């Protein structure tokens, strides 16, 4: 998997709660359809725990789905549980 932006950028305002606590993290994420993407770099609010995927994270999710044999045209669920 690849990144176009460095881990650790932030903190930024959270679109959900408004707190300036959005940071980039790297951890396993379970998508709503059950796919677990290991070590995914993404944004998470340390206040409300909302999770957001930037373009590089979405690229990593798509790449991982293709690697495990899920078709590219499969609908991506944007909400997830990241542990």
Q: How confident is the model over 38-69, as pLDDT tens digits?
A: 999 999 999 999 999 999 999 999 999 999 98
pLDDT at 2: 47
For 33, half-sphere exposure in the C-beta direction (CA atoms, 13 angstrom radius) is 10
What pLDDT is attached to residue 62?
A: 92
Q: Global pTM?
A: 0.72
Provide the pLDDT confidence category of residue 33 given band limits of 50, 70 and 90. confident
What domains can you pick out in the chain, each with its CATH number? 1-70 (3.10.20.860)
> Is the predicted pLDDT of residue 75 greater than 80, yes or no?
no
CA-based nearest residue to 57, from 20, 81, 26, 21: 26
How many Å separate Cα 60 from the centre of its chain?
9
Determine the average pLDDT of the residues in 62-81: 69
DSSP one-letter code for 7 = T
């Amino acid at each position: 998997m690849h990144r176009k932006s460095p881990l650790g950028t932030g903190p930024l305002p959270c679109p959900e709660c408004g707190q300036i606590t959005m940071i980039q993290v790297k951890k396993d994420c379970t998508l709503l359809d059950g796919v677990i993407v290991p070590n995914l770099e993404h944004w998470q609010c340390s206040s409300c725990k909302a999770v957001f995927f930037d373009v590089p994270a979405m690229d990593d999710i798509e790449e991982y789905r293709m690697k495990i044999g899920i078709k590219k045209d499969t609908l991506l669920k944007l909400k997830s549980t990241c542990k």
